[in-house]
């Protein structure tokens, strides 16, 4: 056993930098493929214990009619998260609070990408509500938000205003 290990290290030392470069090449080429395959298969949803960790970007990466969209138009894997405990990583967007403690906020995967590069879409926003009597510290850096997710179209003014909402249990720095 010790001989085998020694031989392996000798081989690595002999092949030297070539092994390292090849490994890096494989990583660079295959990691995006792995991520794409993982996202396609899992929809960015992974179960860890009783909580689902959900990729916010995957969660908003579908087309929805912003006027007439219906709950059925939301992909089933995300609809199935309705009422489930989830953990999301994203940036806080607080339209009515300039800092300090906030009572509610929106969670987006990237403020720059969701809101300024193209027209904002309702599926990019997860409206987070903090229970009455509590509030959370606003953070400009990405945060991990855990709580119970609610999925379904909410309309006002003749258009869709929200499809994702979360009752916040906890907010912590990412």
Partner 1 sequence: MNVFELVAKQMRQRALSTWLTLLSVMLGVALIVAILILRREGNALFGQQDYGYDVLVGVKGSPLQLTLNTVYHIDKSPGNIPYKTYEDLSHSRLYRRYVKQAVPICVGDSYKGLRIVGTLPSMFGYNDDGARAAEGERFQYRLDRSFQVADGKMFAPDRFEAILGSDVSKLTGLKLGDTFQATHGMPAPNETPDIHKEVWKVIGILRQTHTSNDRVLFIPLLSFYTIFEHGEGEIQRAMLRRGENPLAHPKPAGDEDEVQHYTFRPNGTIDLQLPVEDREVSAILVRSRGEGGFAGQALVYDLNLQPDVMAVNPATVMREFFSTFLDSSAKVLLLIAILVTIVAAASIMTTIYNSVSARRREIAILRALGATRRRILSLICLEAALVGLLGGLLGFVAGHLLGAGGSIFMDRLVGEGFNWISAGAEEWIYLAAVVVIAVLAGLVPGLKAYRTPVATNLVAG
Please report, in angstroms and rounded to a whole number, the separation of the first and last CA atoms in the chain.
42
Spatial CB neighbours of 122, under 8 Å, sequence gap ≥ 6: 64, 66, 69, 160, 161, 162, 163
Binding partner 1 (rule: CB under 8 A), the pick from 116, 170, 172, 174 is: 116
Instruction: Give the x/- contact pattern for partner 1 in 19-48, rule: CB under 8 A.
Output: ------------------------------
Question: Minimum CB separation from partner 1 for residue 114, in Å?
Answer: 8
Segment contacting partner 1 by CB under 8 A, of 14-22, 28-36, 71-79, 93-101: 93-101
How far is the CA of 3 from the CAs of 9, 65, 168, in angstroms? 10, 65, 56
Q: Any contact of residue 125 with partner 1 (CB under 8 A)?
A: yes
Burial class (CB in 10 A: 0-12, 13-18, 19+), 140: exposed
Q: Any contact of residue 61 with partner 1 (CB under 8 A)?
A: no
Tell me how long the chain is: 174
Q: Any contact of residue 56 with partner 1 (CB under 8 A)?
A: no
Q: Any contact of residue 91 with partner 1 (CB under 8 A)?
A: no
Number of residues in contact with partner 1 under rule CB under 8 A: 34
HSE value, Cβ hemisphere, 13 Å, CA-based, for 61: 13
Binding partner 1 (rule: CB under 8 A), the pick from 87, 89, 115, 144 is: 115
Determine the Cα angle at 109 with ends 106 and 113, to 5°.
Answer: 105
Binding positions for partner 1, rule: CB under 8 A? 67, 93-106, 115-116, 119-120, 122, 124-125, 127, 129, 138, 140, 154, 156-159, 161-162, 165
């Amino acid at each position: 056993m010790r001989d085998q290990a020694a031989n392996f290290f000798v081989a690595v030392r002999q092949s030297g930098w070539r092994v390292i470069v090849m490994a890096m090449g494989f990583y660079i080429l295959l990691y995006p493929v792995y991520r794409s395959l993982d996202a396609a298969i899992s929809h960015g949803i992974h179960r860890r214990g009783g909580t689902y960790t959900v990729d916010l970007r995957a969660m908003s990466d579908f087309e929805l009619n912003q006027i007439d969209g219906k709950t059925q138009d939301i992909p089933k894997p995300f609809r199935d998260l309705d009422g489930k405990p989830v953990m999301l990583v994203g940036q806080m967007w607080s339209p009515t609070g300039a800092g300090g403690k906030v009572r509610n906020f929106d969670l987006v995967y990237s403020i720059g990408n969701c809101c300024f590069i193209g027209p904002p879409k309702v599926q990019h926003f997860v409206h987070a509500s903090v229970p009455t009597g509590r509030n959370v510290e606003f953070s400009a850096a990405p945060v991990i938000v855990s709580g119970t997710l609610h999925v379904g179209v909410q309309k006002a003014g003749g258009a869709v205003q929200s499809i994702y909402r979360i009752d916040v249990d906890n907010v912590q720095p990412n």
